[in-house]
Structure 1
Amino acid sequence: MAVARKRALWMVVVVAFIVMATAMATATKAQQPKLVAGEIARIIRDGQVPFGNDIDEQRLFQVYAYYHLRSFTPIWVRDSGPKTKGHELLAVLRNAGAEGLEPTDYYVDRLSELMEQRDIYSLARLDLLLTRAFLDYGRDLSAGRVAPESVDSEINLNPTPIDASELIRGAEEADNIGPYALSLAPKTDEYARLATMLAEYREIAAQGGWPTVPDGETLKPGLDDPRVVPLRAYLFTVGDYDGDPDESSTLFDAEMAEAVERFQARHGLDVDGAVGKETLAAINTPIDDRIATMELNLERRRWMKDDPGERYVFVNIADQYLKVVDQGRTIHTARLVVGKPYARTPVFDETMKYVVINPDWTVPASIARNEYLPKLKKSPEALSKQNIRIYAGSTAISPMSINWSTITKSDFRYTLRQDPGPENALGVIKFMFPNAYNVYLHDTPSKGLFARPHRTFSHGCMRVENPIALGEVILGAQGWSADRIRKVVASGKKTVVNLETPIPVHVTYLTAWVNKDGTVHFRKDLYGRDKRLREGIEATHRLQKS
């Protein structure tokens, strides 16, 4: 923040503070502050608060208001030195890494220095800085270190941090600051499992990390190769091999192949039991990189709601999978095809409200101009084979009535609409949760894509495998069986079914998580979102250290 801007912000806060101080003058005069309290009041009034340059105006005002209402009585120290609560808070901040946070963001070195001082000025600064550190920690732990949209415009989530005055009040009332501080973290099993696994991986790193496997030909069952020895040791370290990690055999046997398959399944790779180029690259990913990925995904978990709903649809774009959860139990899963790297599927929460059987498809304008116009230029009847009609306004027109050679992308004014049918781009059923991005779940005629380990082929929507089975899960409570859905499909009639009970849909992007069985999973950063998030967090580090 520029010096002039910082001063302007300070003046706004001080003016507001003086106004409030005047209103509270009687209460203030009624009590004679103690030594540290008097020094806190002087520091605030003189504008010497050690609060860095990134605290927002509202939160700064809340802090000063809270101190004023208590006649500047310190929260964490006494005139004689730091309270036990102050020491406890410093211990919590030093251990922030357990939550995937960075302890240095909370001034632990400066706080440690001030803890050793006993002069009144240092104790007053210590109290104010502990308050700032606690507010930063509480905000970061409850709602994330960065605002989602600040690192990626394709993320539409709005986590709400706990109010500053509420945080301070809770800290004051807590008998022990440690449990209270940790209670600010997401209250989900998914978050807790990932934090626990992060600790385990840090322990592995502290012990020297894991073995690497040298390059070479693909390792397959039956092959005798000295690289099997470090491969076995690695797979044991990460929990995929149950045998003796110190075995010296160089034979790639069936037991090794099964361990490799478990590893591949955990990393979203083609499960073939062989160690080819892609599997080897995943094996040789440094443990520090895996730890960093866990930390990023703890941040994403802090953006998410503690209560996703009793019954909901959960999509993980990075995993290219969907699951339906009912009262904590997964009742349906399905592979997905998600957006191409240049047509990325966004992240958001919405509510599924209706299902369309035998949908038609209005071709998005960008696809019409960029993909279908060139086809029409070559042959006016090119789209007829796909049952795509051309409309001028609401009137269907013949493609032969237009001189396509004169039409450019900029003056393309027509609407393209594909009739319902098995070749429709949306398939025979779509699941609608209206959103700003106009993306949704739907069937597809391109069934072969679901067999691939990496499925980024759509224009942003999520194509779902076995859509009729998903339809039965979604509509079952309303009397819709798979057979009933198929009968409507066979009729060819477009049918809209409104949900009697709308279902929350959470579209996420997670590149690391831990399942209930304790297995940790990693996925490729398909869209570079890990990279952008890491850069956003690093920017906050630089700001806090400036």
Structure 2
Amino acid sequence: NYSSSDSIYRVYAELELIISNSLLRMYKDIANGRSSPIKVYGYTYMLPRNNWKSMKFYDFLNEPNKIGMIEEIHKNDTTYQELQKLLKLYQHRKKIEISSSIDFGDYPKLALGDSAPVIGKLITKLKQRNMPDSSVRSLQNTNVFTKELDRIIKIIQAKNNLTPDGIMGYKTYKIVNTTHTNKIDQVKANMERQRWFTKPQEKPYVYINLPQYIVEMHGPDSGMEMKVCIGKNLPDNYDAMVKEYSDSGWLYKLPKNMETPQIASEITYAVLNPTWTVPNSIVTREMWPMLLSEPHYLRKNGYKVTHNGKEINSDTIKWSRMSKTSIPYKIVEQPGPNNSLGTVKFLFSNPFFIYLHDTPSKAAFEKTQRAVSHGCVRLEKPQEFGEFLMQNSTKYDADDFRVMMGYPPRDTARLKKWDPKDSTATIRKITKTANVNLNKPMPLYLDYRTLYYDRNWQLHFAYDIYDQNRLILKEMDRM
């Protein structure tokens, strides 16, 4: 409110200040993000803000076409441009959306052969939304879960990175009930991530999109990828477990967060035939019952025990006489085919003791959802990953690494001369624990995207296994 004595120029000045501040805020938000990843994730977010745009505020304020300058910010970022198009598409579809959510509350699971009125509603909704594509229109209107519906559901599950088993449960229900408002939110969350961080231009580097469960190896001239397993998501009662720990004060009740964090680092070396020092959290939460019930468990399963640096006979330890909250021993799994880290691990600097490694548990790679580890990343084909890294070694090449791992060389000339039993060869299979260093560290990025494009610019959805979209949207709304 202004009195009659207020100068019209003062009014204009304050209006200009309000408009300028709003435009500056828009400029900053679109360039570098409306929210801060540190405020969203805290110390578990370690990706660089390598696309941080320097804010030329003075130039911006003096630019007549400010909106045009804002639109220029991400003009060379194809991923961002595609997400913008997707956002406009979903905003348009939201205006004409007519379907409502289906209540699946009485049906924890639905599968082939089941019969229920809700199945008829499901078929109607799939047709309304053209899910997964136009082939859904041929579905018969029925209350029975037919073979054709089973086929349709499997396609929907596969497109959303879920196990395509045709069995409908919580995750599939959530996808079917997804509205265009939900999709708009998903695009907004991933656009925010793109403002924070983009893949580097310089190669080679290694990139892992955690909810995709894939590692990409980007070389100067080519690339390859393989499956990975990542850390388990938090249990539904995690907050209650934290409260129980807080109320009790007992350290062993502190629930472990096994979610793999977002990291930027550099792989510096590999360890062949690694040992594994079992973390106390795993000893107390997982091994303790076996230690109490089977006195010879550690020896039989390839573990050694030390106390103050000296090895002791694990068979003589009276585990029942001590508290699991104060175990004075270090338990180390010895190298071998059944070692939890497999035959090789790859190390990079980070405060979470996370690394990439082989595993004897290969069956997990057959799953679609592969959040199964304690936080480290398991590699489907570690020997091929090591071959890729050797481009940053001046001492070894890819075939050297294969031979050291016990595989035949790929080079045909070398293969003719290769003798796996030759113990005098300069490069031969290594049977003891040994380091293989890189002269030039290999850049590594562990990212989290629930929308992503493949090399052919096909859109893919990934199930938000760590429920992180919600955290970003909450912080964006708060700002």
Tell me if TM exceeds 0.5.
Answer: yes
Q: Find the partner of 2:406 among 487, 493, 497.
A: 487
User: How far apart are residue 247 of structure 1 and its match?
Assistant: 5.3
> Displacement, 1:218?
4.5
Alpha-carbon distance change, 147 to 515 in structure 1, aligned in 2, over 3 angstroms: same
**Residue 382 (str. 1) matches residue 297 (str. 2):** yes
TM alignment of 1:458-469, pairs within 5 A: 458-469=373-384
Aligned to 2:420: none
CA distance in 1, matches of 2:137, 2:464: 33
One-letter code aligned to 2:452: W
Question: Within 1, Cα distance between the matches of 2:467 and 2:461?
Answer: 14
Specify whether residues 198 and 455 from structure 1 end up closer, same or farther in structure 2 by C-alpha distance, changes over 3 A only: same
CA spacing shift, 1:277–1:391, aligned 2, 3 Å: closer
Supply the distance in 2 between the matched residues of 1:516 and 1:334 (Cα, whole angstroms): 17
- Secondary structure, counterpart of 1:499 in structure 2: strand
Whole-angstrom CA distance in 2 between matches of 1:429 and 1:234 = 51
Shift of 1:212: 6.4
Q: Among 445, 448, 452, which residue is 1:509 paired with?
A: 448
1:318 corresponding residue in structure 2: 211
CA distance in 2, matches of 1:201, 1:209: 14
Aligned match of 1:230 in 124, 129, 144? 124
Q: Structure 1, residues 248-291: CA drift from partner, whole Å, max 9, x if none?
A: 75499988766544432221111245666643431222221121
**Unmatched 5+ residue regions in structure 1?**
1-117, 541-546
Q: Which residue of 2 aligns with 1:530?
A: 469
- Give, in angstroms, the shift of residue 200 of structure 1: 1.1
Counterpart in the other structure of 1:145: 34
Contact 1:389–1:418 (Cα < 8 Å) also in 2: yes
1:384-463 to structure 2, matched below 5 A, reads 384-463=299-378
- Give 3-state SS (helix, strand or coil) of 2:133's partner: coil
- Provide the residue aligned with 1:357 in structure 2: 272
State the Cα RMSD in Å: 3.4
Change (3 A) 1:351 1:187: farther
What's the counterpart of residue 19 of structure 2? 130
- C-alpha change, 1:121 and 1:186, in structure 2 (3 Å) is same
Q: What is the match of residue 49 of structure 1? A: none
Counterpart selection for 2:49 from 159, 170, 195: 159
Residue 263 of structure 1 corresponds to: 156
Normalised to the residue count of structure 1, the TM-score between the two structures is 0.67
Instruction: Output the amino acid matched with 1:428.
Output: T
CA apart distance, 1:328: 8.6
From 427, 436, 447, the equivalent of 1:497 is: 436
Task: Answer whether contact 1:155 1:347 (CA < 8 A) is retained.
Answer: yes
Are the aligned partners of 2:213 and 2:230 in contact in 1 as well (CA < 8 Å)? Answer: yes
Q: Which residue of 1 is the match for residue 133 of structure 2?
A: 241
Shift of 1:146: 1.9
The structure in which a higher percent of residues are helix is: 1
CA shift digits 1:400-450 (9 cap, x unpaired): 444333322343232221111111111111121121111011111111122
Q: How many residues align?
A: 418
Q: How far apart, in 2, do the equivalents of 1:242 and 1:185 lie?
A: 34
- 2:460 corresponds to 1:521: yes
* Structure 1: distance between partners of 2:228 and 2:45: 22
Which structure: larger Rg?
A: 1
Instruction: Quote the sequence identity (%).
Output: 24
Q: Could you tell me which amino acid in structure 1 is paired with residue 286 of structure 2?
A: E
Q: Give the aligned residue type for 1:480.
A: A
Contact between 1:339 and 1:462, CA under 8 Å: does it hold in 2?
no
SS state at 2:263 partner: strand
Matched position secondary structure for 1:271: coil
Offset from partner CA, 1:330-389 (integer Å, 9 cap, x none): 422323243342311111111111122211112223223443344334344211122111
Partner of 1:281: 174
Alpha-carbon distance in structure 1 between the residues aligned to 2:126 and 2:210: 31
Which deviates more from structure 2 when the two are superposed, residues 470-479 or residues 381-390?
470-479
- Answer whether contact 2:206 2:216 (CA < 8 A) is retained: yes
Other structure's SS at 1:417 match: strand
* 1:292 CA drift (Å): 0.8
